[in-house]
């Protein structure tokens, strides 16, 4: 091997699987990216996006230095000028319209970037607005709210013990495409097959016969948005057939009788009518959960991001609790990370409904309002109207419901600044863009996803490349912009030390530290000695010790759940005869809205089309591969339809994150791709009423032929 060829180890931070990568470089060039066989969590697994880390690094469209908008052009400016302008403009908006006239939108990659996690607070403190939005409320908010009310902390979220389970019920998740979510579980194909190899089974409930469903022992089609009936009917069966067992949690549980009463009306027969799943099969799912030692019920996007998202997540917890599947081997357990270990007294537990949004009155959670109300808060005039926006690593024009309205709202702002390295559908509305370094140019420790991992590890990796000259990391931008704004306002502010120092402090206070009396006496330096990742062991039961509730108990029922159960009981099947229900779709070579500028990922068969069952095509007098118009309450788009019996009749599937062919977007490869934005159809008024989370799945639409 020539002397200048170097081998680096780095965890991939594109998705929740946090796979270890082995990266060979020569000078500034990537020679190869492979899975790191010695990573104790990912064990050599890699997906096609991992190799595309190179494309982000080399992408000529990626911004390296700040730019400001001048007419229709972008001109490069210095960091100092950029910070100064942002400080002046945001302060001026606040002076004229009040503190809360400036809002924040934080996108998904923030949680994959430890410097953003640790340092965003410096900027937020300087801006002093209470109006925050994020991708959380397009995604996993129901999980946080459920953990907050049952276990006392929004981040004490139990995950499937997939490596030991004997029966896994997957509802509304497609880990073969997503690589697992709220379940950091790299190498998912092998982990699922291992369930079968040890004599276990896994079952998928999904309106589409997904990649995961294909390899499952059983797949049941379900009508989108109706899962709450199925889950409540499973609980009904558990009580009716006296199958509940609660093991070591028995003395902690408050209100089992209330749960029993609440699910009484939801018989398997009612659930069959609503869901399309046979009553007997629903009862059998409950029996299988109850009779298997080490069973787990797990639900993701399909059941979180729909109208009963919170009720579904609550019912899933109930099923696990009442079949003795919570906090047991093979069931659901909380991870025990080296950093960010949740135990009583830990900060950030959350709060709910401390205030409500101005226009629609939706509740805050943990200081954030639902993203679905962001545009209306900008467009609706009056006291408290949002006039300026800071986006960090987010693309709400493509990712939030009613994207056309978001687009219009951003266009009307007095000022917008984006911390992002692409000029895309959202950031094109900014006045100034502050680009951070790309992933391979900064060090990395995964803050969010070790906390949700199915096996406990810790991994720190140095940057692969020196950052390009004059560039800044996300955390440096947060520090410096925060300070510039504070200085302009004349308030005091302190920069935070680099993220690795903060992580070290956290690890030294964590469960594997000398302070905790642990034999590992873990520090960041010790973690660094294991560039492939340090194995700290399998998941272990940890309740009641880690329960964060005030009374140390698990109170099963909550007011907002009771209300939602009432809503479910009263709901009628409302879809009109000519309506179909729209669901999303993820693909292993795509990542939300922002990885379509990589040729290696977008090449091959296009994957942005609408899928529709052949029977529905015939009913609509449509041909396979013809052009169709999809119409929802909020908008219409035209795209190509593909015949597919993967989707059940009555359902159509369109992936989100496409629709880059528009003026102002500076993504040369992405902008060549066909496809429309699914969120030009999703409805900002369709929300999970309990939490305010968006309902991006199960959106009523009508389909029409487009005649040439
Ligand atoms: N219809 C429908 N809509 C959905 C979903 C769905 O299933 N269906 N899924 C929802 C879900 S789960 C999510 S998480 C959201 C995602 O929603 P968003 O987070 O709003 O959107 P992303 O597409 O992830 O856009 C990420 C942005 O971050 C930038 N970026 C990437 N890395 C970095 C970095 O290191 N630093 C900075 N500063 N910027 C970076 C990219 O350039 C891009 O602009 O979409 C939601 N929208
Ligand atoms: N390749 C790739 N990986 C990703 C991402 C990506 O964009 N691409 N995004 C990442 C992000 S941000 C997230 S949050 C995770 C998401 O991870 P997952 O939740 O595993 O991913 P999805 O593919 O959205 O799975 C949702 C499933 O729910 C089904 N579904 C839709 N509506 C319903 C319903 O009403 N009921 C039921 N039971 N099922 C329904 C859909 O058909 C789909 O199969 O993936 C992450 N990983
Ligand atoms: S599954 Fe792919 S995108 Fe996700 S962490 Fe692993 S290599 Fe990266
Ligand atoms: Mo997500």
CA of residue 595 to ligand 1 center, whole Å:
10
Of 496, 511, 542, the position where a domain reaches its end is 496
Please report whether residue 104 resides in a domain.
Answer: yes
Instruction: State the angle between helix axes of 279-291 and 227-240 in degrees (0 to 180), rounded to the nearest 10.
Output: 60
State the ligand closest to the CA atom of 657: 1
Question: Which of 316, 586, 589 to probe ligand 2 with, by most ligand atoms within 8 A of CB?
Answer: 586
Instruction: State the angle between helix axes of 256-263 and 227-240 in degrees (0 to 180), rounded to the nearest 10.
Output: 120
227 lines ligand 2 (CB under 6 A): yes
CA of residue 405 to ligand 3 center, whole Å:
32
What is the pLDDT, as a whole number, of residue 440?
98
Number of the ligand 1 atom closest to the C-alpha atom of 181: 12
416 lines ligand 3 (CB under 6 A): no
CA of residue 413 to ligand 3 center, whole Å:
36
Residue 613 and residue 490 share a domain:
no
592 lines ligand 1 (CB under 6 A): yes
CA of residue 585 to ligand 2 center, whole Å:
6
The 10s digit of each residue's pLDDT in 310-345 is 999 999 999 999 999 999 999 999 999 999 999 999
What is the pLDDT, as a whole number, of residue 621?
96
CA of residue 141 to ligand 2 center, whole Å:
15
439 lines ligand 3 (CB under 6 A): no
Q: Is the pLDDT of residue 267 over 80?
A: yes
State the ligand closest to the CA atom of 14: 3
Please report whether residue 29 resides in a domain.
Answer: no
183 lines ligand 2 (CB under 6 A): no
Local confidence band at 353 (pLDDT 50, 70, 90 cut-offs): very high
601 lines ligand 3 (CB under 6 A): no
CATH code at position 681: 2.40.40.20
Taking CA atoms only, the protein residue closest to ligand 1 atom 29 is: 393
In the chain, how many domains are there?
2
Please report whether residue 618 resides in a domain.
Answer: yes
The 10s digit of each residue's pLDDT in 22-67 is 999 999 999 999 999 999 999 999 999 999 999 999 999 999 999 9
Q: In sequence order, which residues have a C-beta less than 8 Å from that of residue 84 and are 6 or more positions away?
A: 484, 488
Taking CA atoms only, the protein residue closest to ligand 2 atom 44 is: 174
What is the pLDDT, as a whole number, of residue 3?
81
Residue 492 and residue 606 share a domain:
no
Number of the ligand 3 atom closest to the C-alpha atom of 588: 2
459 lines ligand 3 (CB under 6 A): no
Residue 589 and residue 485 share a domain:
no
The 10s digit of each residue's pLDDT in 202-226 is 999 999 999 999 999 999 999 999 9
What is the pLDDT, as a whole number, of residue 425?
98
| % of the chain surpassing 70 pLDDT | 100
Residue 111 contacts residue 118 (beta carbons within 8 Å): no
CA of residue 139 to ligand 4 center, whole Å:
5
What is the pLDDT, as a whole number, of residue 574?
67
Please report whether residue 152 resides in a domain.
Answer: no
Residue 581 and residue 670 share a domain:
yes
CA of residue 305 to ligand 2 center, whole Å:
9
Taking CA atoms only, the protein residue closest to ligand 1 atom 32 is: 109
422 lines ligand 1 (CB under 6 A): yes
Please tell me the distance from the alpha carbon of residue 309 to that of residue 689, in angstroms, as a whole number: 9
Please report whether residue 268 resides in a domain.
Answer: no
Sign for the pseudo-dihedral over CA of 164, 15, 104, 65: positive
Residue 492 and residue 616 share a domain:
no
Rounded to two decimals, the pTM is 0.98
CA of residue 300 to ligand 4 center, whole Å:
10
Residue 596 and residue 680 share a domain:
yes
Q: Is the pLDDT of residue 110 over 80?
A: yes
592 lines ligand 3 (CB under 6 A): no
State the ligand closest to the CA atom of 112: 1
Q: Which of 53, 135, 25, 111 is nearest to 438 (CA)?
A: 53
Please report whether residue 577 resides in a domain.
Answer: yes
Taking CA atoms only, the protein residue closest to ligand 3 atom 2 is: 47
The 10s digit of each residue's pLDDT in 74-89 is 999 999 999 999 999 9
What is the pLDDT, as a whole number, of residue 131?
98
What is the pLDDT, as a whole number, of residue 572?
85
CATH code at position 96: 3.40.50.740
CA distances for 696 relative to 138, 411, 631, angstroms: 8, 23, 15
Question: Which of 132, 593, 665 to probe ligand 1 with, by most ligand atoms within 8 A of CB?
Answer: 593
Local confidence band at 613 (pLDDT 50, 70, 90 cut-offs): very high
Taking CA atoms only, the protein residue closest to ligand 3 atom 6 is: 19
What is the pLDDT, as a whole number, of residue 1?
73
Residue 616 and residue 478 share a domain:
no
Q: Which of 227, 237, 307, 309 is nearest to 274 (CA)?
A: 227
Please report whether residue 369 resides in a domain.
Answer: yes
Pair of tokens at residue 660: 């880059």
CA of residue 108 to ligand 1 center, whole Å:
5
455 lines ligand 1 (CB under 6 A): no
The 10s digit of each residue's pLDDT in 662-679 is 999 999 999 999 999 999
181 lines ligand 2 (CB under 6 A): yes
CA of residue 707 to ligand 2 center, whole Å:
33
What is the pLDDT, as a whole number, of residue 577?
81
To which residue do tokens 């389909």 refer?
703
The 10s digit of each residue's pLDDT in 381-436 is 999 999 999 999 999 999 999 999 999 999 999 999 999 999 999 999 999 999 99
Burial class (CB in 10 A: 0-12, 13-18, 19+), 412: exposed
436 lines ligand 1 (CB under 6 A): yes
CA of residue 172 to ligand 2 center, whole Å:
7
301 lines ligand 1 (CB under 6 A): yes
Residue 480 and residue 353 share a domain:
yes
Residue 638 contacts residue 626 (beta carbons within 8 Å): no
Q: Which of 59, 393, 47 is nearest to 186 (CA)?
A: 47
180 lines ligand 3 (CB under 6 A): no
Backbone angles phi, psi at 593, to 5 degrees: -105, 0
The 10s digit of each residue's pLDDT in 290-311 is 999 999 999 999 999 999 999 9
Residue 637 contacts residue 681 (beta carbons within 8 Å): yes
Please tell me the distance from the alpha carbon of residue 355 to that of residue 406, in angstroms, as a whole number: 23
Average pLDDT, the chain: 97
300 lines ligand 2 (CB under 6 A): yes
Q: Which of 385, 380, 350 is nearest to 366 (CA)?
A: 350
108 lines ligand 2 (CB under 6 A): yes
CA distances for 72 relative to 24, 430, 554, 659, angstroms: 40, 12, 57, 21
Residue 618 and residue 485 share a domain:
no
173 lines ligand 1 (CB under 6 A): no
Q: Which structural domain, as residue segments, surrounds residue 482?
A: 67-136+348-442+473-496
CA of residue 174 to ligand 4 center, whole Å:
13
419 lines ligand 1 (CB under 6 A): yes
Number of the ligand 3 atom closest to the C-alpha atom of 42: 6
Please report whether residue 160 resides in a domain.
Answer: no
Local confidence band at 575 (pLDDT 50, 70, 90 cut-offs): confident
What is the pLDDT, as a whole number, of residue 409?
98
What is the pLDDT, as a whole number, of residue 576?
78
Q: Is the pLDDT of residue 105 over 70?
A: yes
Residue 185 contacts residue 17 (beta carbons within 8 Å): yes
């Amino acid at each position: 091997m020539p002397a200048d060829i170097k081998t680096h180890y780095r965890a991939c931070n594109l998705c929740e699987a946090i796979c270890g990568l082995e990266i060979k470089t020569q000078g500034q060039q990537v020679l190869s990216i492979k899975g790191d066989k010695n990573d104790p969590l990912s064990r050599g697994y890699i997906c096609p996006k991992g190799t595309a880390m190179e494309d982000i690094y080399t992408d000529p469209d990626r911004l390296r230095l700040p730019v400001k908008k001048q007419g229709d052009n972008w001109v490069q400016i210095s960091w100092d000028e950029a910070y100064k302008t942002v400080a002046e403009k945001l302060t001026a908006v606040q002076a004229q319209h009040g503190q809360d006239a400036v809002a924040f939108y934080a996108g998904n990659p923030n949680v994959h970037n430890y410097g953003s996690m640790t340092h965003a607070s410096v900027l937020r403190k300087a801006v002093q607005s209470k109006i925050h939005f994020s991708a959380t409320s397009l995604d996993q908010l129901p999980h946080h709210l459920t953990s907050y009310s049952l276990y006392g902390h929004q981040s004490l979220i139990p995950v499937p013990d997939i490596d030991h389970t004997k029966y896994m019920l997957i509802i509304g998740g497609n880990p073969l495409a997503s690589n697992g979510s709220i379940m950091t579980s790299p190498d998912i194909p092998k982990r699922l097959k291992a369930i079968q190899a040890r004599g276990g089974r896994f079952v998928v409930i999904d309106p589409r016969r997904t990649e995961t469903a294909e390899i499952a022992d059983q797949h049941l089609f379900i009508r989108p948005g109706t899962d709450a009936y199925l889950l409540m009917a499973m609980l009904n069966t558990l009580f009716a057939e006296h199958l509940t067992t609660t093991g070591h949690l028995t003395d902690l549980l408050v209100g089992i009788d209330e749960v029993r009463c609440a699910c009484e009306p939801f018989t398997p027969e009612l659930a069959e009518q609503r869901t399309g799943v046979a009553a007997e099969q629903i009862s059998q799912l409950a029996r299988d959960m109850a009779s298997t030692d080490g069973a787990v019920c797990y639900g993701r996007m399909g059941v979180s991001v729909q109208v009963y998202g919170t009720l579904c997540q609550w019912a899933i917890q109930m099923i696990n609790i009442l079949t003795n599947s919570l906090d047991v081997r093979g069931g659901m357990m909380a991870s025990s990370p080296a950093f960010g270990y949740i135990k009583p007294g830990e900060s950030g537990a959350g709060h709910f409904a401390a205030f409500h949004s101005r226009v629609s009155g939706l509740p805050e959670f943990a200081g954030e309002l639902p993203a679905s109300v962001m545009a209306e808060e900008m467009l609706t005039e009056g006291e408290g109207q949002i006039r300026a926006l800071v986006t960090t690593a987010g693309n709400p024009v493509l990712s939030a419901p009613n994207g056309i309205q978001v687009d219009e709202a951003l266009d009307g702002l007095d000022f917008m600044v984006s911390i992002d390295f692409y000029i895309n559908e959202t950031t094109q509305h900014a006045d100034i863009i502050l680009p951070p370094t790309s992933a391979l140019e900064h060090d990395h420790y995964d803050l969010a996803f070790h906390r949700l991992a199915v096996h406990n590890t810790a991994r720190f990796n140095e940057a692969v490349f020196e950052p390009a000259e004059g560039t800044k990391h996300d955390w440096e931008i947060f520090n410096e912009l925060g300070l510039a704004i504070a200085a302009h306002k004349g308030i005091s502010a302190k920069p935070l030390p680099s993220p690795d120092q903060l992580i070290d402090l956290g690890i030294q206070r964590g469960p594997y530290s000398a302070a905790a009396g642990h034999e590992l006496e873990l520090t960041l330096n010790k973690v660094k000695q294991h560039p492939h990742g340090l194995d700290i062991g399998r998941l272990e039961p940890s309740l009641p010790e880690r329960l964060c509730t005030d009374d140390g108990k698990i109170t099963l029922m909550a007011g907002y759940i009771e209300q939602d159960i009432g809503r479910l009981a009263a709901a009628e099947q409302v879809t009109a005869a000519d309506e179909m229900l729209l669901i999303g779709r993820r693909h292993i070579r795509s990542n939300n809205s922002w990885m379509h500028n990589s040729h290696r990922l977008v090449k091959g068969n296009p994957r942005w089309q609408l899928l529709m069952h052949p029977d529905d095509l015939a009913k609509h007098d449509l041909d396979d591969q013809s052009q169709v118009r999809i119409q929802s309450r909020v908008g219409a788009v035209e795209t190509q339809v593909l015949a597919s019996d993967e989707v059940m009749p009555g359902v159509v599937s369109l992936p989100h994150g496409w629709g880059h062919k528009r003026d102002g977007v500076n993504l040369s490869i992405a902008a060549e791709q066909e496809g429309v934005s699914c969120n030009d159809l999703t409805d900002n008024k369709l929300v999970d009423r309990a939490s305010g989370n968006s309902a991006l799945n199960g959106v009523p639409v009508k389909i029409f032929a487009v005649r040439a």
